[in-house]
Amino acid sequence: MTKITAQVPAVQVEVGDDVAREHLEYARDKVTAALGHAPEPVLYARVRLRYAGDRAVARPAVAQVVADCNGRSIRTEFDAPTMHEAVDGLQSRLRRRLDRLARDWEELRDRRSPAVAHEWRHGDEPTRRPAHFPRPAGQREVVRRKAFELAAVTPDEAAFDLELHDYAFHLFHEIATDQDCVIARTPEGYRLSRLDPAVGESPGGAVTVELDPVPAPELSLAEATDRLGLTGAPFVFFRDTDSGQGCVLYLRYDGHYGLITPAA
């Protein structure tokens, strides 16, 4: 059987000032080769190479790719001791995601058995998150803000999007309860946090989702910042005191904060 290789546009590569230019072409070649296994046309692809703020951490080199596969966004990253290893790991992870893309989406849509649905979650190695720069809480600032229209989906579909984009958490609008929610990974499956967990039934579907029984706290941005600094958690999901919407404040790799909010 002859394998048809997908046509891949020129891969854009962005590198930090401290990244050797020799890694640029290496990353472009590796990612282009992986994208050749895409089940649908690749419309766009961008790679970013950077080092963590503290080069003394065990895995300071970080390679990230964002691609558009026929309108479906894919994001993944890999960190390693050296940039060469980070790019190699990124290529392997991206290829596995692309190989599973079409099959997994159909399996999730069809609501097959949990054992089948879990293949797309457990078939990959655990996501490696780059070490956070150890910035004292008093020196942290909100340096990135993202506002977008939340997808109205089920927890199953949100879990699939989380895995497809290699997120640690995913903010979405739950169809059944008509409220903003966050889904995140746990060792047993996924944990769903709702603005009001008393609304609606416990989530059921193809994947194991545990419902957080505690309502999202109503906080201002300043209060959410204080809470995240005190708890040391990777993110906090909260109801914004002004808008009433669900928002996420998270700790970035550089030790500062990022804020995700629904579009007005």
Quickly list DSSP for 179-215.
Answer: EEEEEEEETTEEEEEES-TTSSPPP-SSS-EEEP-SP
Q: Quick one: three-class SS letters along 228-257?
A: HHHHCCCEEEEEECCCCCEEEEEECCCCCE
Task: Give the pLDDT mean for 98-103.
Answer: 69
Domains of the chain (ranges plus CATH)?
A: 12-122 (3.30.160.100), 137-262 (3.30.505.50)
Residue 17 or residue 170, greater confidence: 170
Containing 102, the helix (H) or strand (E) segment is helix 83-109
List all residues 6 or more positions away from 102 whose beta carbon is below 8 Å from its beta carbon.
39, 40
Question: For the CA atoms of 106, 146, 183, 93, what is the dihedral angle to 10 degrees?
Answer: 50
Which range in 39-48, 51-60, 240-249 is most confidently predicted, on average pLDDT?
Answer: 240-249
Structure token digits, residue 28 = 């472009």
- The mean pLDDT of the chain is 82
Q: Is the pLDDT of residue 69 over 50?
A: yes
- Closest alpha carbon to 67 in 22, 111, 37, 108: 37
Average pLDDT over residues 99-104: 65
pTM listed for this prediction: 0.61
The set of long-range contacts for 182-187, using a CB threshold of 8 Å and a minimum separation of 24, is: 182/235, 182/237, 182/246, 182/248, 183/155, 183/158, 183/159, 183/209, 184/235, 186/210
CB 74 within 8 A of CB 64: no
Q: Report the pLDDT value the prediction gives residue 113, as an integer from 0 to 100.
A: 39
- Residue 112: pLDDT band with limits 50, 70, 90: very low
Q: How far apart are CA 246 and CA 264, in angstroms?
A: 12
Give the residue among 167, 165, 197, 166 at the shortest CA–CA distance from 181.
197
Q: How confident is the model at residue 16, as a pLDDT? A: 81
Determine the pLDDT at residue 74.
Answer: 83
Query: 184-232: per-residue pLDDT in tens?
Result: 988 878 999 999 999 988 887 777 889 999 999 999 999 999 999 898 8
Mean pLDDT value of segment 244-254: 93
Residue 85 near residue 60 (C-beta atoms within 8 A): no
Q: Which segment of 117-121, 131-135, 147-151 scores lowest on mean pLDDT?
A: 117-121
Q: How confident is the model at residue 102 (pLDDT cuts 50, 70, 90)?
A: low
